[in-house]
Amino acid sequence: MPKKTTTEPIEEDIIVTEYSEVMKKSYIDYAMSVIIARALPDVRDGLKPVQRRTLYDMHELGIKFDKPYRKSARIVGDTMGKYHPHGDSSIYDSLVVMSQSFKKGLPLVDGHGNFGNIEGDGAAAMRYTEARLQKVTQLGMLADLDKDIVDFVPNFDETEKEPSVLPCRFPNFLVNGSEGIAVGMATNTPPHNLSEVIEAMKAYMRDEEISVKQLMKYCKGPDFPTGGIITNKDELLSIYETGQGKIKIRGKVEVEKGKSGRTNIVVTEIPYTMIGAGISKFLQDVAALADSKKIPDIIDISNQSSKEGIRIVIEVKKDANVDNIINLLYKKTKLEDTFGVNMLAIADGRPETMGIKKILKACTDFQFELATRKYTNLLKKEQDKKEIQEGLIKACNVIDLIIEILRGSKDRQQAKACLVEGKTAGIKFKTRESEVMASQLKFTEAQANAIMDMRLYKLIGLEIDALIKEHEETVANIFKYEDILSRKESMAMVIINDLDEISKEFSRKRRTVIDNLEDVVVEEVKVPEMDVIFLMDRFGYCKIVDVPTYERNKETIEQEFKYICKVKNTGKLCIFTNTGELHTFKASDITISKLRDKGVPIDNVSTYSSKTSSVIAVCSQSELNLYRMVFVTRKAYCKLVDGGEFDVAKRNVAATKLEEGDEVVSVHAVKEAKNIILCSNGGYFLRFQIEEIPVKKKAAVGVRGMKLVTNDYISEVYFTRGVDDSMIEHNGKQIQLNGIKLLKRDTKGTKLR
């Protein structure tokens, strides 16, 4: 018989809670994890967790500035396995950035191999590159880790310990800056000059009531690795008080004599924001300005940049107005740009946007904390050393007695008890006098252990003299450390001396010029206004040709191109899509080309995307302003809209409102047309007068133009004048449009087979 089983009810611990509260708590926990543990730097050492862990791992691996380079892959793998289990790409990316002198004011990693360049080329794979610590990192950020001056916390799996913060001896948060995007907040701190930041920190230490304006006498402003010119000096005070604002930066431009009497405009320094793809974008923008004749005097542009620095050469005509061209470059390209400052960092365990004074206060407090822990530990070691030294010196004075005790003792414990407590029982002495003297010994336990471990050569006269001299040094160190710990002025002087050493060895001259410059004033060359023809084929490639080209090739053009539109070269073009959107763009965005040129995708010059919609109609803005536009949708809704409603500044707006599942079938400018013919997929034709369609706003749906049978929809729309013999082909038959019976709007229409 099968065994009988019994099931007991399982106790359930069901927690009833509000779903929104669970989501809120979970999201806040996630957000704080990203903010604290991933994206934002700590104001004390200026490092994000991934950077801190990478540098500490290199320190642990012994990859110091005076040791050979090691493969980046080894560093990344070790860091990921021990401290940062979030993927190798984030670790290698941080390693690369910390080595790039064009991004960091003071690189922390010494990279060997291809670590990318200022023009945006990425670093080689980690298996090819090598790295080691920079000297400033080793001496200024990782020194004294063995002196217990920072807290160590367990790593992710609690198999290792890692520092919660590095003992950075200078304000790295300001020197190297930072950028990072967290959840609901972002940091963007510009880099500064090392010596200036250190001088500002020293000034704060001397006077904690110092104003931000006075601090700026020492730290004048950001110092970007790429140089450039800051043009809004007067606004820096507000930025440094609040920690937020916008810095306007320009590239540096020089004028040189070129070949054949021409002039070369040479860009020698770029804005910090142009690092990477910004340089190629600048070259494209300058070429576009030349092609569109906005700067017709530009003959050629070349990028001659190298390891020695930036050199972008723009060749202009002999009699060109060079100053005006330079101003146009500032105005029309990223040669003048804005750096958005948001000095956000983790302070006391929470994110905070801080002005320069608050940052320096946090860094100064951290230096005092480090110094207190360091010299407390050093004092303890010196005091322990002093105890041992005094015991050994005292032992040397009664060495014969100690030898007698050691020889007469049965074991170490007996000898130690005699040295510490004066216990002589069981020890064989040569004389009663020796026993009495031994009973008076009062060495400490540490001294007794040191005496018993002492080697005989220490009894040499010179060794005893060296011991006495070492004791004197120890006493001097104890006095020094006690003074540092007891007097804030003494500790401040020690910190200032450390700062001076770092500044002396690692500082460099300022690269960025800070000034107050007026906004550029340009005299744009007016492009002569003329008619041009916009052409777009069925594949979405468009071009603009001049009118003579169109007239000569009219038949060919009308066969090859789906949309043809006359427009002024200074005007705008409008694209209506099946999704009811209007996309506008300038005709000048497309250069006048030859008929056989390939053209450019319409997606590249407008906000239109061929992936999400299709073009229904193209017309010029000036044509729209003259006429009304009639809209017809797949579900047979119609309306008239004044073309002036589409004269908008935005590049993308809703041209009409659509019901769910509906789309635009036709958009047509009403010029001479009197009648409209709606043709359904099922073969129904309805001809009625356009004046029956009401005029509505672009945001309206419209009215029904035709009653459709089930599953039928509008497939074609035609327009005719009063007397018109236009013919169309339908199901292999020729149909005269004006021959279709004229009916009223919102009727079923006539079915033609």
Q: Where is 413: in which H helix or E strand?
A: helix 412-421
Helices (H), ranges, 340-411: 356-397, 399-408
Which of these, 264, 269, 354, lies nearest to 318 by C-alpha position? Answer: 264
CA distances, 703 to each of 543, 639, 699 (Å) = 37, 6, 13
Pair 82, 158: CB distance under 8 Å: no
CA pair distance 27, 38, nearest whole angstrom: 15
CA pair distance 454, 456, nearest whole angstrom: 7
CA pair distance 560, 601, nearest whole angstrom: 16
Pair 221, 200: CB distance under 8 Å: no
User: Under DSSP, is residue 26 helix (H, G, I), strand (E, B) or coil?
Assistant: helix
CA pair distance 425, 417, nearest whole angstrom: 10
Which of these, 59, 38, 63, lies nearest to 156 by C-alpha position? Answer: 38
How many Å from the N-terminal Cα to the C-terminal Cα in the chain?
Answer: 80
Query: What secondary structure letter does DSSP report for 11?
Result: P
Which of these, 522, 511, 520, lies nearest to 231 by C-alpha position? Answer: 520
Please indicate whether residue 375 is annotated as part of the active site. Answer: no
Residue 591, CB half-sphere, CA atoms under 13 Å: how many?
Answer: 14
CA distances, 717 to each of 87, 639, 713 (Å) = 57, 13, 12
CA distances, 92 to each of 97, 126, 148, 177, 225 (Å) = 9, 7, 29, 19, 22
Active-site residue identified among 83, 128, 375, 541? 128
Three-state secondary structure readout of 650-671: CCEEECCCCCCCCCEEEEEEEC
Pair 288, 584: CB distance under 8 Å: no
Q: Which residues are catalytic?
A: 128
